[in-house]
Amino acid sequence: MLLPILKRLAPAMLLAGCAATNPLPPPDFTSYVVIGEYGAAVARVLIDAPTCPDIVLNQRSQPMTLRAPAQTIPLRTTPSVPADSKAADFPLLTCEAILPAGTSSARVLGRALPLPTAEPTRIVVIGDTGCRLQKSSNSYQACNDKEQYPFATVAAQAAAWKPQLVIHVGDYHYRENACPEGNAGCAGSPWGYGWDAWDEDFFAPGARLLDAAPWVMARGNHENCLRGGQGYWRFLDPRPLLKGRDCNAAADDAVGNYSDPYAIPIGQSTQLLVLDTANTTWKGLKPGDLGYDKYRDLYRKLDALAQQAPRNIGISHHPLLGMGADRKADGSIVLLPGDAGLQASFGSLNPRLFPAAVQAMLSGHVHLWQQASFSSGHPSQFIAGFAGTSEDIVPLPEQLPPGVTPAPGALVEHFSSWVDGFGFMTMERRGADQWQVEVHDLQGKIRNRCTLDGRRSVCEVAQVK
């Protein structure tokens, strides 16, 4: 009787052996690491699965926590007319796990995750990375053309530089409206505020850089509650996701549009200070406005955080100390100062806008690269909004005209810019107060070099051609 039984079992035993030697591949998923308050590292996994996977830390397996379930969020107020809006569909689980200090290895479903460095000396800075599809401005970037929408190339080149930390200064999501019929440049692109647009705009093109190092994720105006705020809170913010702060209901926007700053130590008595400026306005704020009071509160908390270390580098999407440019109908160029809303609220508490221990500000919002240094005691300003979104093309002067300043009382001593060129910025530490800043193009070629020493910065080239 034994032989017939063995014959019947043989196929099953063979299949079991094949399964053991050729296990099924894990489901497709997105993974990355974000750095939050006081340097806490959080591993995130976005996955289409019944439950969150386990994470293996130092060869020991433990369950990940569910941050947000798969769900479709009912349509809420958006900047678009109803015909150009739709509910935000998030069909994936958002899972997370804290990476304890001293973690030497972290893996999810066989994939290694990037680990934080206690004192990072090689930092990539990028911003404004999404592909603009916006009906209100009749702006439809050619998302299908890697030359006209090169974020994937930027991310790959930045990853090849081997950073220990990536700073994104905000505006990840730009695919707000459907590509017009007949437009081959963006045909077939997902749109709206759900996962498909977020994936195509950020996670898929940024994958190489997400794998390369942990990220600091600042919030931009494209992530306020009227726009991509639901995805920002679900995917990117390093803090716990709280009901009412998730931008799911318009009634909660007074909470969801604002959040406290936080500090990230990076060694040598230096901190990164991350500011949420998503809901400010270039039109300005005045006493009695909700935003005015919210950003005054933000400044007070920023000031308290800055006192924890002798040197700080601030990160805010909106530059208070940078310049933009616009062309009038008659062809003349008007230079635009820094964000008026933040200047009004911060300036009501400190005419110099930032605490004395802040040596530099990293920002985006203006779609170009820029550096400004001041003789008036203000921190240096760097703008790195040139990593993917349609570039600003109105030229800036090599030197600002007399009397032109980005903020009241800010006296520009050194000014440098690159208009209409895609790339990324790097910062390499040279000392406690010193950084070498480099501007890279799509081929990774260095187009400008700057030194940051204390609050003062100087670049080799005043204007990249």
DSSP assignment, residue 396?
A: P
Average pLDDT over residues 184-202: 98
Q: How confident is the model at residue 25 (pLDDT cuts 50, 70, 90)?
A: low
Distances (CA, A) of 180 to 141, 193, 437: 11, 18, 40
Tell me the per-residue pLDDT of 354-387, one tens digit each, with 9 for 90 and over: 999 999 999 999 999 999 999 999 999 999 999 9
Tell whether the model's pLDDT for residue 3 goes beyond 50: no
pLDDT of amino acid 84: 86
> pLDDT confidence of 15, banded at 50, 70, 90?
very low
Q: Is residue 302 a contact partner of residue 156, using CB atoms and an 8 Å limit?
A: no
Computed over every residue of the chain, the mean pLDDT equals 94
Q: What pLDDT was estimated at residue 24?
A: 59
Structure tokens at 272: 């990164």
Q: For residue 392, what are the contacts with CB-CB under 8 A and spacing of at least 6? A: 324, 325, 366, 367, 368, 419, 420
> Which of 165, 169, 159, 168 is CA-nearest to residue 122?
165
Q: H or E element: which one contains 291?
A: helix 290-306
User: Average pLDDT of 79-93?
Assistant: 89
- 305 or 76, which is more confident: 305
Give the global pTM.
Answer: 0.94
What would the pLDDT profile of 408-437 be if each residue is shown by its tens digit?
999 999 999 999 999 999 999 999 999 999
Residue 274: pLDDT band (50, 70, 90) is very high
* pLDDT over threshold 70, residue 6: no
Q: Are 384 and 421 in contact (CB under 8 A)?
A: no
Query: How sure is the predictor about 197, in pLDDT bands with cuts at 50, 70 and 90?
Result: very high
- pLDDT at residue 27 in the model: 73
166-172 average pLDDT score: 98
Whether residue 12 is predicted with pLDDT greater than 90 in this model: the reply is no
- For residue 11, is pLDDT > 70? no
What is residue 235's predicted lDDT score, i.e. its pLDDT? Answer: 98
Q: Label residue 77 by pLDDT band (50, 70, 90).
A: confident
